[in-house]
Amino acid sequence: MGKINFKNYGSQKNWISGCYEDSNSLEKISVISPYFDKEIATVPDSNVVDLNLAVERSKLVFPHWSKVNIRDRAEVMFQLKSILEKNMEELAYLIALDNGKTIEDAKGSILRGKEVVEFATSLPSILSGDSSQVANGITCTLSYEPIGVVAGITPFNFPAMVPLWMIPLAITTGNCFILKPSEQTPLSALKIAEYLKEAGLPDDVFQVINGSREAVEGICDHPDIKAIAFVGSSKVAKIVYSRSTALGKRALCLGGAKNHMIVVPDADLDSTAKGLLASSMGSAGQRCMAASVAVGIANIDPIIQQLVKEANQFKLGVDMGTIVSKLAFDRINNYIDEAEKMGADILIDGRNVMPPKDYENGYWLGVTILDNVDPSWPCAQEEIFGPVLTIIRTATLEQAMQIENDNIYGNAAAVFTTSGEIAKTISENASAGMIGVNIGVPVPREPYSFGGWNESKYGHGDITGKSGIQFWTNLKKVTARWPETEEPWKKYF
């Protein structure tokens, strides 16, 4: 296990104009490390005065940054990529300390964020635009223009990766970006601000406003913030989406999930058991791509037995970190208690596990597998966001498909089978934006975009890939006609 030593980072500030700046607010939020159940920092609970300052400064620099050649803007991303690689240990430690991930898991999340940084380095080619002669003597040119001052609001579970889904595309396309990171896990976002400065990003192109509800509502309401990307729970995603679009802003709000893995008896035993486990337990189940429901068709007992065998080898602190907070820990325990009362078979119980040495006060929950769950129970319908795999048994493929389709969310779905026909049927009929065939965590690699359907997303398009570029830009079309003389070049000679 990568060692996570306790450290207190003291009173953190906002990041304005390329340096740390005190907030106007006297309210502070305590940041607790889930490894130690102890405060590791405080961040200001910023107010609209803080936000107004950040927007004011960003507005002043936008006319200049938006006119910087895109190759020079992309150069910042080339630099950021090497800075992330060079500082991988430092950033991974901060993510682990405030979020509870293992160091390995934290590094994996940085690599996924870095993919978007790499994609952003290719924007000079991708955004070369289009131009053609649309009629005799008339040309049409299309270009991608930045929008202005834009903002991102991010969740606790991927404190560096989710900001890195947004920042590279938003600023390389020429916008100025204000980030409101999760107040539970703010440390790595502030570090990214330092990295961006080191990468050569001019001051005021990127600002960080710490805080909670007031800062978020301020972002939704501020007339000079033109577009908002949000990632978090569906409840808040819906609020942010309606509040900001009501004011005419562009918004893309990614929400929660309840992803299903449909398991067919013909699936490969070993890789399916591993796939189910990795998907449901990775990041201690605290990820929107966690497939937390396995829908087994007919007799999948050998696969479940193998799954239990694999799960029993899982080591806390090595294969899985902690739960983010005491509140989340209690919520997950309640789901398990309730499922037990309703009659679920608990194949593995992660409650009351032995914490790893040196982290006795951490919020530890072990692998939990609930079998023979009814599709109507809360543990089968709601987002638990913890290391709990719910197994539902069905007789037919149609029933399994129906269970997947009936769920209100639609982030991801997966099928484990050796039958091409079944894989095709499920891929075509699952009501989700990201589908895995024999892959439990079907996160598309760049340039394929990330985003779900249904109650897992409010707004159009996806957050990364070409879709992300479209979100952060306006299309401009110039149609030009120049007066034609018979031989226009002759007048010059």
What residues between 348 and 387 interact with ligand NAD by CB under 6 A? 383, 385
CA torsion 289→294→295→300, rounded to 10°? 140
Residue selected from 40, 97, 228, 236 as contacting ligand NAD according to rule CB under 6 A: 236
Say which DSSP state 407 is in: S
Q: How far is the CB of 134 from ligand NAD (least distance, A)?
A: 39
Q: How far is the CB of 28 from ligand NAD (least distance, A)?
A: 15
Q: Which residue is nearest to ligand NAD (CB)?
A: 232
Residue selected from 80, 190, 231, 332 as contacting ligand NAD according to rule CB under 6 A: 231
Q: Based on the shown chain and the rule CB under 6 A, indicate whether residue 182 belongs to the binding site for ligand NAD.
A: yes
Residue selected from 38, 64, 71, 213 as contacting ligand NAD according to rule CB under 6 A: 213
Give first-to-last CA distance, the chain, whole Å. Answer: 77
Q: Based on the shown chain and the rule CB under 6 A, indicate whether residue 326 belongs to the binding site for ligand NAD.
A: no
Task: Tell me, by CB under 6 A, how many residues bind ligand NAD.
Answer: 28
Nearer to ligand NAD, 50 or 383 (CB): 383
CB 295 within 8 A of CB 403: yes
Closest alpha carbon to 27 in 11, 39, 15: 11
Nearer to ligand NAD, 6 or 448 (CB): 448
Q: Based on the shown chain and the rule CB under 6 A, indicate whether residue 166 belongs to the binding site for ligand NAD.
A: no
Closest alpha carbon to 34 in 113, 106, 110, 114: 106
For residues 22 and 83, what is the distance between their CA atoms, to the nearest angstrom?
Answer: 26
For residues 98 and 288, what is the distance between their CA atoms, to the nearest angstrom?
Answer: 19
Nearer to ligand NAD, 302 or 378 (CB): 378
Q: Based on the shown chain and the rule CB under 6 A, indicate whether residue 464 belongs to the binding site for ligand NAD.
A: no
Nearer to ligand NAD, 198 or 382 (CB): 382
Evaluate the CA torsion angle 128, 130, 133, 137 in order and state its sign. Answer: negative
For residues 190 and 10, what is the distance between their CA atoms, to the nearest angstrom?
Answer: 13
For residues 283 and 326, what is the distance between their CA atoms, to the nearest angstrom?
Answer: 16
CB 160 within 8 A of CB 109: yes
What residues between 91 and 130 interact with ligand NAD by CB under 6 A? none
3-class DSSP state of 32:
strand
Taking residues 287 to 306 in sequence order and writing x for each that binds ligand NAD by CB under 6 A, - otherwise, the string is -x------------------
Q: Near ligand NAD by CB under 6 A, which window of 11-19, 179-187, 393-401, 477-485? A: 179-187
Q: Based on the shown chain and the rule CB under 6 A, indicate whether residue 218 belongs to the binding site for ligand NAD.
A: no
Q: How far is the CB of 33 from ligand NAD (least distance, A)?
A: 16
Nearer to ligand NAD, 96 or 288 (CB): 288
Q: Based on the shown chain and the rule CB under 6 A, indicate whether residue 15 belongs to the binding site for ligand NAD.
A: no
Helix (H) or strand (E) holding 269: helix 269-281
Q: Based on the shown chain and the rule CB under 6 A, indicate whether residue 404 belongs to the binding site for ligand NAD.
A: no
Q: Residue 122, Cβ neighbours under 10 Å: how many?
A: 14
Residue selected from 109, 381, 456, 473 as contacting ligand NAD according to rule CB under 6 A: 456
For residues 400 and 393, what is the distance between their CA atoms, to the nearest angstrom?
Answer: 8
Where in the sequence numbering do the catalytic residues fall?
Answer: 288
Q: How far is the CB of 239 from ligand NAD (least distance, A)?
A: 6
In the structure encoding, which two tokens stand for residue 346, read together? Answer: 């608990």
For residues 167 and 155, what is the distance between their CA atoms, to the nearest angstrom?
Answer: 15
What residues between 60 and 89 interact with ligand NAD by CB under 6 A? none
CB 465 within 8 A of CB 449: yes
For residues 125 and 454, what is the distance between their CA atoms, to the nearest angstrom?
Answer: 33
Q: Based on the shown chain and the rule CB under 6 A, indicate whether residue 411 belongs to the binding site for ligand NAD.
A: yes
Say which DSSP state 459 is in: S
Q: Based on the shown chain and the rule CB under 6 A, indicate whether residue 178 belongs to the binding site for ligand NAD.
A: no
Nearer to ligand NAD, 148 or 255 (CB): 255
Phi first, then psi: what are they for 8, rounded to 5°?
Answer: -105, 125
Residues that bind ligand NAD (CB under 6 A): 153-158, 162, 180, 182-183, 212-213, 216, 231-233, 236, 239, 254-257, 288, 383, 385, 411, 452, 456
